[in-house]
Amino acid sequence: MKPLTAAQKELYDYLVAHIDKFQYSPTIREMMRAMHLSSPAPIQARLGRLRSKGYIDWEEGQARTFKIIPMTQKGLPVCGAHRYADLFRDRCRGFGRTFHFSKLFLRFT
């Protein structure tokens, strides 16, 4: 994935935190308040860049449908649809429906 600018990273981190906490996406207005902006245009531009870089996705024309796309890394995912996921079930609890795969990888050397 392409790297994010500071503003894009701030919005991405906000989206991840909000979806983890509430299990649904924030509105554009909520994102504006969180980023201390008075116009939706910068939020929409940042969301478009996050989508084009592969960090998020959403359903066109539907409210609150932002989805965090797991970042890919080398390693074995310990959560999700993997046959060894049950060995790490306790580690996966508390993440809701949005897993942070970047934090939940085993590395084998």
C-alpha distances out from residue 38 to 8, 17, 32, 34, 90, Å: 17, 21, 7, 11, 42
pLDDT at 104 exceeding the cut of 60: no
* Global confidence as pTM: 0.65
Model confidence pLDDT, tens digit, residues 10-64 = 999 999 999 999 999 999 999 999 999 999 999 999 999 999 999 999 999 998 9
Second CATH level (architecture) for the domain 6-68: Orthogonal Bundle (1.10)
Hey, what are 27's tokens?
């509105």
Model confidence pLDDT, tens digit, residues 56-101 = 999 999 989 999 998 765 554 444 454 544 555 545 554 444 444 4
* Annotated domain spans of the chain: 6-68, 76-106
Hey, what are 101's tokens?
């795969």
